[in-house]
């Protein structure tokens, strides 16, 4: 695991990663195979190319873990009429979103809250494997090529992202030594490490190796390692690295200027309130915002808005839908701490409404909203004077 010399070309043929001990791939599909009922011999018959080598490892005499193996583990507003509040709610949805991940409903009994499953304690073998992994990281971060190669079995293999394979401790040591000569003070971090015991003498490890070299961007590779129990303790018999999948596309950079608005916001008086809450979608390509108008303790009106980046028009747009059947679109312009939103809405009765909505931030927990140039089917309506809206989730 980790970059070795010129072993960083992109590894595109994943079939080359199939190795002698990919028993884990069988166990990872419980619909097809039952790990509690299948024996190693059955798995070996499914991997004819590797049967001799696995059988040799299985039948080899075992000895206690060597003493030198590391023993540590891994570790407000004034009163407002109901009609006005409903209108404000609709207009608020025509502009930038103020959102945050929804918080748990405090009204639900504690018994209804999901409880995380308790993690079983690591077995003796898992603890030994984790100690070997930690020892590997220490050796890499010291630049000790000999100690690093010793973590493999004598004939262990390292498959690089390009598909090349280094075999044996000598070849591994030479490659690591050359790498450390060219990349002084290189460090490694192992992330998302997952260990699975396949049999009393075979285990697999999956994770991400991040190599950090001074004055360079960190590089990540995903890896699969097969650990076997030998007379020297747990050793790696094969490690295969592959370039990780590319990050999914995102428009977060175009929408980032709205992030200060993330949170739950409210405008309320003694009889009614408007509450809005929004959150990022996966990959932060959109912001979804929901709003509810409460009359006392009853929801009188609600709706949803989606905000996203239009790559064709190179602008931020919004799409809004309400519980009465109305819908609308908005186009936003950023003016520092002030946003203007040109909106077009279709009312439930088919009439067409337009407005320019203005949002101005006062501080991180307060903003003002107003709406001007309001028309319905060409008839000019009074403007909505500035309304103060505050963040409701401030601790």
Domain ranges of the chain: 14-73+122-240, 82-109+250-391
Q: Which residues pair with 195 in a beta bridge?
A: 205
Q: How far apart are CA 317 and CA 258, in angstroms?
A: 12
pLDDT of residue 117: 56
pLDDT of residue 241: 92
pLDDT of residue 244: 72
The CA R_g of the chain, rounded to the nearest whole Å, is 30
Q: How far apart are CA 191 and CA 173, in angstroms?
A: 24
Token digits of residue 119: 């993690």
Instruction: Say which residues have a Cβ less than 8 Å from residue 332's Cβ, sequence separation at least 6.
Output: 95, 96, 315, 316, 317, 318, 339, 340, 341
Q: In CATH, what is the architecture of 82-109+250-391?
A: Beta Barrel (2.40)
Task: List the pLDDT tens digit at each of the 395 positions of the chain.
Answer: 443 332 223 333 333 322 323 333 333 333 333 333 333 333 333 333 333 443 444 444 433 333 333 333 333 333 344 445 554 555 555 443 333 333 445 444 544 455 555 666 778 899 999 999 999 999 999 999 999 999 999 999 999 888 889 999 999 999 999 999 999 899 999 999 999 999 999 999 999 999 999 989 898 899 999 999 999 999 999 999 988 777 788 999 999 988 888 889 988 888 888 889 989 998 899 999 999 999 888 888 999 999 999 999 999 999 999 999 999 999 999 988 888 999 999 999 999 999 999 989 889 898 898 999 999 999 999 998 998 888 886 65
pLDDT of residue 121: 74
CATH 3.40.50.1980 fits 14-73+122-240, yes or no: no
pLDDT of residue 160: 86
Q: How far apart are CA 370 and CA 273, in angstroms?
A: 17
What is the edge-to-edge ordering of all strands in the sheet holding 219-230? 165-167, 152-159, 233-242, 219-230, 202-212, 187-199
pLDDT of residue 161: 84
Give the global pTM.
0.48
Element (H, E) at 303: strand 298-310
Residue 103 CA to its chain's centroid (Å): 19
Equal CATH topology for 14-73+122-240 and 82-109+250-391 = no
């Amino acid at each position: 695991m980790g970059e070795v010399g010129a072993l960083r070309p992109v590894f595109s043929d994943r079939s080359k990663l199939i190795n002698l001990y990919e028993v884990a791939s069988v166990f990872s599909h419980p619909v097809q195979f039952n790990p509690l009922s299948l024996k190693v011999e059955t798995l070996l018959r499914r991997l004819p190319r590797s049967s001799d080598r696995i059988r040799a490892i299985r039948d080899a005499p075992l000895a206690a873990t060597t003493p030198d193996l590391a023993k540590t583990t891994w570790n407000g507003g004034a009163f407002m009429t109901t009609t006005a509040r409903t209108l404000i709610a609709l207009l608020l949805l025509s502009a930038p979103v103020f959102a945050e991940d929804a918080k748990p409903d405090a009204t639900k009994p504690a018994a209804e809250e999901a409880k995380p499953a308790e993690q079983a304690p690591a077995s003796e073998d898992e603890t030994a494997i984790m100690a070997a992994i930690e020892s590997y990281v220490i050796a890499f971060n010291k630049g000790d090529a000999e100690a690093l190669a010793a973590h493999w079995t004598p004939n262990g293999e390292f498959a690089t992202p390009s598909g090349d394979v280094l075999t044996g401790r000598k070849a591994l040591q030479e490659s690591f030594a050359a790498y450390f000569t060219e990349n002084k003070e290189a460090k490694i971090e192992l992330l998302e490490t997952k260990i699975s015991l396949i049999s009393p003498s075979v285990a697999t490890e999956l994770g991400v190796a991040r190599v950090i070299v001074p004055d360079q961007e960190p590089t990540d590779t995903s890896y699969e390692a097969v650990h076997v129990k030998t007379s020297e303790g747990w050793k790696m018999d094969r490690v295969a690295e592959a370039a990780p999948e590319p990050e999914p596309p995102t428009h977060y950079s175009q929408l980032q200027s709205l992030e200060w608005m993330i949170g739950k916001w409210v405008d309320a008086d003694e009889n009614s309130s408007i509450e809005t809450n929004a959150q990022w979608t996966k990959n932060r390509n959109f912001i979804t915002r929901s709003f509810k108008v409460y009359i006392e303790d009853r929801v009188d009106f609600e709706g949803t808005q989606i905000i996203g980046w239009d790559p064709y028009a190179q602008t931020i747009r919004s799409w809004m839908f309400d519980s009465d059947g109305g819908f609308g679109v908005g186009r936003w312009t950023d003016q520092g701490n002030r946003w203007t939103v040109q909106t077009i809405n279709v009312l439930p009765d088919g009439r067409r409404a337009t407005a320019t909505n203005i949002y101005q931030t006062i501080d991180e927990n307060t903003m003002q909203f107003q709406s001007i140039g309001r028309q319905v089917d060409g008839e000019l309506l009074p403007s909505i004077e500035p309304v103060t809206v505050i963040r409701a989730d401030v601790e």
